[in-house]
A and B are shown apart, each in its own frame.
Chain A
Amino acid sequence: MIITVLRTVIMYIFVVIVLRIMGKRQIGELEASELVVTIIISEIAALPITDTGVPLSGCILAILILLIMEIFISQAAYKSVLVRTVLYGKPSTFYKNGRLNQAEMEKQRFNVADLMEEIRNSGAVSLNQVDYIVMETNGKVSVVLNAESNPLTPSDMNVRPKPLYMNYIIIDNGNLITQNMKRFGLNEEWLYAQLKENGIKRINDVFYLSFEESTGNVVIIPKNGKNKKRGASK
């Protein structure tokens, strides 16, 4: 029984590492080849856990081979349009310039109900409000609304809104993110000054502390406390 426990722990750590090495694509929208690799990896990983007679090393070897193949193939797809087309295919356009491509819809087994569902998901209610409907290579459907149906944007009104700046986490649940402090040239002296102003003594008592790029605004939320929000100078 202890072997099963150890094997489960080993395979869990190993598969997590493998998926991390494969990259973010592997845990987001998957292309067909990536989906296949992910399914095979999960199947192989389950084998030595459920059957202790199956050698662990053989399964690790198989997963490593899949990892190598996936990395090399995705690298080739990144560099070559031909490889990308062969592996991932091309997007399918279902609707363009007021014309519905029924042949393409039939080819992709995409029925009218699916079409309407995607239109509604995009915020429209009819084809009249749409310019393009495209099925991407990962199976996701993109609906491009026409100019009349697109929400009004500040540029339509000739308004220039203030730009948004990224907020960076300095303290995450009592953990200091020194990397973000260094990025803005902040030091511990500054940090403790912020804490002191909010009546907090220790870093460990802070649940959330963020620093806004450019404006220098600081948001502090103490652990089990009330949100305190204020502007601060660097």
Chain B
Amino acid sequence: MNRTIGAAGILILLAVFIGVHTAEIHTLSRDIAEICDDIEDAMETDDWNLICTLTDKLGKRWDKSRFWASMTIKTDKTEEIEISIRQSNQYAHLHAKEDFAGEFCMLRHMAEHLKKQEGLAAEELL
């Protein structure tokens, strides 16, 4: 019976952990999506100063939740996102619009996929 109580205790702890982790990843994904929307708006007006500021913000926001993200996402995937953020930031500083647009598009897709990976989608399950 003690073992069952212990297992129930672990189950509760796991449920809390999974809940906190999922919430953290969803918040990260949402914040990144918001920043990306702002970057897209800034791209339309070619406001590179704002784009640089926003890509910096994007990097800081990612760093804030990096610990939680790397708990369930493979290291190569997290590194891919980090490289993409840095590369976007560099292109923004160089005002290389075409290169930035390509890199940014990939970054956005990867960030959007984060939520799917942590969510309960049938495609991910299967």
For window 29-78 of chain A, which residues contact chain B by CB distance below 8 Å? Answer: 52-55, 57-58, 61, 64-65, 67-68, 71-72, 75
Task: Give the residue name and chain of the B residue nearest to A70 (CB).
Answer: B7
Chain A residues touching B, majority SS: helix
Cβ–Cβ < 8 Å partners of B17 in chain A: 61
For window 55-76 of chain B, which residues contact chain A by CB distance below 8 Å? Answer: 70-76
Task: Give the residue name and chain of the B residue nearest to A3 (CB).
Answer: B75
0/1 per residue, B37-67, Cβ < 8 Å to A? 0000000000000000000000000000000
With the chains together, A70 CA to B7 CA distance in Å?
A: 9
Quick one: given A64-B14, A68-B14, are A54 and B74 in contact (CB under 8 Å)? yes
Band of interface residues on A: 10 to 19
Band of interface residues on B: 10 to 19
Please tell me which one of the listed residues B3, B6, B71 contacts residue A58 in the complex, with CB atoms under 8 A apart: B71
Quick one: given A71-B4, A72-B4, A75-B4, are A64 and B10 in contact (CB under 8 Å)? yes
**Using a Cβ cutoff of 8 Å, how many contacts connect chains A and B?**
41
For window 6-23 of chain B, which residues contact chain A by CB distance below 8 Å? Answer: 6-7, 10-11, 14, 17-18
A125 contacts partner chain B, Cβ-Cβ < 8 Å? no
Cβ–Cβ < 8 Å partners of A54 in chain B: 74-75
Cβ–Cβ < 8 Å partners of B7 in chain A: 21, 67-68, 71-72
Task: Give the residue name and chain of the B residue nearest to A72 (CB).
Answer: B7
21 CB < 8 A contacts A-B: A21-B3, A52-B75, A53-B74, A53-B75, A53-B76, A54-B74, A55-B71, A55-B72, A55-B74, A55-B75, A57-B71, A58-B71, A58-B72, A61-B18, A61-B72, A64-B10, A67-B7, A67-B10, A68-B10, A68-B11, A72-B4
Quick one: given A23-B3, A72-B4, are A57 and B10 in contact (CB under 8 Å)? no
Please tell me which one of the listed residues B4, B14, B70, B73 contacts residue A61 in the complex, with CB atoms under 8 A apart: B14
0/1 per residue, A117-160, Cβ < 8 Å to B? 00000000000000000000000000000000000000000000
The smallest C-beta distance from A7 to any residue of chain B, in angstroms, reads 12
The answer to whether B73 touches A55, judged by C-beta atoms less than 8 angstroms apart, is yes
With the chains together, A54 CA to B72 CA distance in Å?
A: 8
Cβ–Cβ < 8 Å partners of B11 in chain A: 68
